[in-house]
Every structure is written in C-alpha cells, then in structure tokens.
Amino acid sequence: METKWLEDFISLVETNNFSRSAALRHVTQPAFSRRIQSLENWLGTDLIDRTSYPTRLTPAGVVFYEQALEMLAKINGARELLRSKRAAAQTSIDLAVPHTLSLTFVPKWLTGLEQDFAPIRSRLMALNVHDAVLQLVEGGCDLLLCYHHPRQPVQLDPGRYDMLVLGHESLRAYARCDKNKVPEFTLPGTKRAPLPFLSYTNNAYLGRMVELILGDARTPLHLEPHYETDMAEGLKMMALEGRGIAFLPESAVTRELKQKQLARADGDTADWEIEMEIRLYRERPSAQRRGKPIVDRLWDFLELQQNGGRKKRSIPSSER
C-alpha cells in the first residue's frame, strides 16, 4: 500500500466526486480511479459503491475511512518527529569521551565554551578509550576527546583527522589522609611490607600509563594488588576508604585534595608520575562527509583560541 492511496481515498470521501478529487490530487481521472482500485485490491474489498450515483461508500469503506484518517495522521506524525530530530541533530554535538574525562574535564570545558563561544547542545557517550576512538572512526560521533601519550598514542590518520591539544593531565599516586592529614601509605614500600595497590584492569588506558610509571621508576616500587577496575572514579572511592594507593588523574582528586581527604603518596616528587595531553579529534570535512556546521564553527573558534586570535593559515595541497 502507498500513502498516496490513503490520501486519494480521503479526498474522494470528502468530495464525493472522482473528477474533483482527481483535479485536487493533480492527476487525471483515469489515473485517480486506478489508484482507488489499487487500494481496494490491496485491502481485498470494495470501498466505493459503484452501483449508485453520486459516489457513496460501502460499509467497508465507512469503516476504512476512520482507519485511513488515523493511519495517515500517524504516518505524518512519525515523519514530522523524525524530521525534527534530524534538524535537532544538526545543531547538537555528539561527543565520545573516556569515563574519567567525562566526569572531570568535560563539565568545566562545556561551561567555558557556553560563556566564550555559544550555548551548546551536546550528547556525551562515556566509553573506554578504544570504543571512544571507534565511535569517531565509524562515524558515530562528531568529536573525540581523549588522553594521549607519545608511548601510548591514539592511532588516527593525520591526513583524515584534525587534532587540537586542549590541556594536560598528570597521573600520580594518592592515598587517604590520616587524622594528621598525611597519607596513610607512601611510596615506594618494601619487600617485607608491600603497599596495598588499587590498580586498573589490563584494558584500561590509564592502566597502561601506570605500567609506564612502574617500568620507568628509578627506585623500585613494592606494591601488592588488592583491587582493580577500569574506572579511575572507582579507584578513588576505594582510596577514600583507606584500601590502598591509587594512581589517579590530578583533575579527578581536586576536591579531595582541598578537603584533605586524599594526599599525594609519592613524597611530592616527580619520579612516579606521568603527564598526558588532553586531545580533541574530529574527522576532517570532505565533499563526501561535510560534517555539521555547528562542529565547524566550534572547531574554528578553538583554533583561533589556540592561535591567540590569529586565524590559522590553510596549507595548500601542493605543500602537504
């Protein structure tokens, strides 16, 4: 069945005249009659009583008229709903973000953008780093926000993806404060008394950063794993319970440090920490995939910010 058959039938009921309805539907009368017959054939019953004049409905036609009105209203309602969602989607920015950054960096970043750029309608997908990158590669988001370290890089083709560095993040060891406001555990620990270690799972990006810290440590660390999860927030809650030492992003513990709930467990040295970049990626617009205008405007704004208000010079293709 075609939607236009419903519209034809409703028009015929309202005019009681094949010729007038054909004119209103901008088709010839024979074509209009064939479309009404096609609807009847699809339903398996006559809708028009062709034994009388003027045009009159059969009992089945009377019943179907109400159904046709309802069906057409639902179809048009669904179309308008989807069109409005599509229009809204063009003004909304879809962000794929690792869990930690979604809780620490993104809220303040979006607040700053709304003050300096414009109100932003956004949809955030909090994922692990691998899945967040896949969202960008497979076209499931407009922007990817993630950590980056040269020894654990995000492998995205610079010829296809644009990148901006939005900030930096330090990963350090923290432990709960005792009643004297000093950490209950302090690195490096000893062989006889290893420190309880709250660790990331093997598939967590921050877990790989901790592996780099431990591998580079000039003084060996003596840690005994007690608990693991892939989320920094989960490790922080365990550290607050006094369950051990956790390596956490600095932005994740800002409040706890101010309130003396947590403290650095590394003796305030840089020997057991690592610094990461916070990067923003997008797929470069092309003739095949132009992207959303709102994303283009935001990207231009962020580039101007990073260049001190000077617009970045485009590089001719011959120089690339």
DSSP 8-state class, residue 260: T
**What local confidence, expressed as pLDDT, does residue 85 receive?**
55
Digit-by-digit pLDDT tens for the chain (320 residues) are: 688 888 889 988 988 888 888 888 888 888 899 999 999 999 999 999 877 777 889 999 999 998 888 888 888 777 766 655 554 456 789 999 999 999 999 999 999 998 988 888 899 999 888 889 988 988 889 999 999 999 999 889 999 999 999 999 999 999 999 999 999 999 999 999 999 999 999 889 999 999 999 999 988 899 999 999 989 999 999 999 999 999 999 999 999 999 999 999 998 888 899 999 999 999 998 877 778 889 999 999 999 988 875 555 433 333 33
Going by C-alpha positions, the residue among 296, 11, 307 that lies closest to residue 165 is 307
Give the C-alpha separation, 170 to 257, whole Å: 14
Q: Among 257, 274, 97, which Cα is nearest to 169's?
A: 274
Backbone angles phi, psi at 70, to 5 degrees: -65, -45
Residue 122 vs residues 49, 99, 132, 239, 298: alpha-carbon distances, Å: 56, 16, 16, 32, 12
Q: Given this model, what pLDDT does residue 82 score? A: 65
pLDDT at 299: 95
Q: Cα(25)–Cα(33) distance, rounded to whole angstroms?
A: 12
Tokens representing 310?
A: 């000077």
Please give the C-alpha separations between residue 287 and each of 238, 257, 291, 314, 315, in angstroms, as whole numbers: 50, 49, 10, 17, 18
- The residue assigned the tokens 């179907």 is 64
- Rounded to whole angstroms, the maximal C-alpha distance in the chain is 105
| pLDDT at residue number 229 | 94
Cβ-contact 244, 197 below 8 angstroms: yes
